[in-house]
């Protein structure tokens, strides 16, 4: 009679336990790096907005107003002379968490400010909910 060869239930359970332990170690590190990447993406996008705003100011002579918003970098606002845009190659993206960026001009922190309110989309917060500010 031929004897069938295979894995025993105990061997399978040991392998599954080892895989579960590895996942418990690796998964939190991956998610932590994912959140760091989102923060870095928001900072990079804000820097790109700042460059585009500088080019806008050179052409127009002033910064976009709060009412005009960042959209003034893509489409010419009414009554604005010498606009030579678009100053950004693509539409204004949402922040990495899907919330719109907040643009204010004038600002208490300089000529203008651009803000991402982080993962929670609300002002303030710690960790992944911390605000990302153009002036810091």
Please calculate the CA angle 83-89-93 and round it to the nearest 5 degrees.
105
Mean pLDDT by 10 residues, the chain (136 residues): 73 92 85 85 96 96 95 94 92 95 93 94 88 90
Per-residue pLDDT at 1: 57
Domains and CATH numbers, the chain: 10-77+84-133 (3.30.700.10)
Per-residue pLDDT at 68: 95
Per-residue pLDDT at 29: 79
Per-residue pLDDT at 40: 93
Per-residue pLDDT at 32: 74
- The Cα–Cα gap between 85 and 97 comes to 27
pTM: 0.77
> How would you classify the pairing of strands 113-116 and 132-133?
antiparallel
SS3 state at 4: coil
């Amino acid at each position: 009679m031929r004897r069938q060869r295979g894995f025993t239930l105990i061997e399978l359970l040991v392998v599954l336990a080892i895989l579960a332990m590895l996942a418990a170690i690796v998964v939190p590190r991956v998610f932590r790096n994912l959140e760091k990447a989102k923060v870095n993406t928001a900072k990079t996008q804000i820097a790109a907005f700042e460059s585009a705003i500088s080019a806008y100011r050179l052409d127009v002579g002033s910064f976009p107003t709060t009412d005009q918003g960042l959209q003034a970098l893509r489409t010419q606002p009414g009554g604005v002379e010498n606009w030579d845009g678009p100053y950004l190659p693509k539409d204004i993206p949402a922040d990495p968490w899907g919330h719109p960026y907040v643009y204010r001009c004038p600002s208490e922190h300089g000529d203008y400010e651009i803000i991402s309110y982080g993962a929670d989309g609300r002002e303030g917060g710690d960790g992944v909910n911390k605000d990302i500010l153009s002036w810091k």
